[in-house]
Amino acid sequence: MPVPEHVFAAARTGDIAVLREYFASGDRDPNDTVERTGWTLLDGACRGTRDEVAAVDWGGTPRVISCEVVSFLLSQGASVDYQPRRLQARALFLGVGPRLAVGLLGTREDSRDAPL
């Protein structure tokens, strides 16, 4: 079943209430994708949103990522190993980077084969 756009937007923006409501029925697959993009909710959560204030201060494009949403999706069974054909890296490592991902998943040895 395709993930509704508003639910994907909630994953990106950290709106945990929308995600909890979406999964409350118990029959949702956390690895389903958005039809338009092929991205999972974990992809969206790890992408987060752009922090416009920090971008001005730091001159880059920092992202705001909700660890609570990432943890929730993992608890629902979201796979860190899911890889769309066009993307050759795991969403968790693309979005949050290896240091935070290690903190969420375990030791560096647990995730050493992940693309950095």
pLDDT at 23 over 90: yes
Superfamily (CATH) of domain 5-111? Ankyrin repeat-containing domain (1.25.40.20)
pLDDT bracket for residue 38 (50, 70, 90): confident
The confidence score (pLDDT) of residue 39 equals 86
Q: How far is CA 52 from CA 11, 18, 65, in A?
A: 18, 24, 13
How far apart CA 113 and CA 93 sit, in angstroms, is: 11
pTM (2 decimals)?
0.69
Q: What's the mean pLDDT in 1-8?
A: 94
Each residue's pLDDT tens digit, 45-68: 988 887 777 666 656 667 788 989
